[in-house]
């Protein structure tokens, strides 16, 4: 191997190592961003679940109160008329 080819190979390895370091830094940034997004999505899903539970609770109260109201008794007097 000549000195020129050794310099070329050494230069190539140096460029590859520098490239790998840059990629590692970039991938760390990407990983951090994805972790932040994941945490934000989890928080949003918890909020959506809380709203869903609240709406279902409100609906259950409405159905329960509607079943006790006299208006429902007038609409559904099937058993009483016989």
Residue 32 sits in which domain range? 3-81
pTM above 0.75, yes or no: no
Give dist(CA 16, CA 24) in Å, integer: 12
6-64 pLDDT tens trace: 778 888 999 999 999 999 999 999 999 999 999 999 999 999 999 999 999 999 998 88
Q: How confident is the model at residue 68 (pLDDT cuts 50, 70, 90)?
A: confident
Domain count, the chain: 1
């Amino acid at each position: 191997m000549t000195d020129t080819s050794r310099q070329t190979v050494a230069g190539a390895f140096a460029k590859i190592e520098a490239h790998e370091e840059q990629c590692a830094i970039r991938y760390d940034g990407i990983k951090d961003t994805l972790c932040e997004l994941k945490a934000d999505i989890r928080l949003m899903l918890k909020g959506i679940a809380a709203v869903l539970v609240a709406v279902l609770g409100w609906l259950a109260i409405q159905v329960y109160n509607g079943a006790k109201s006299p208006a429902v008794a007038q609409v559904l007097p099937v058993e009483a008329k016989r």
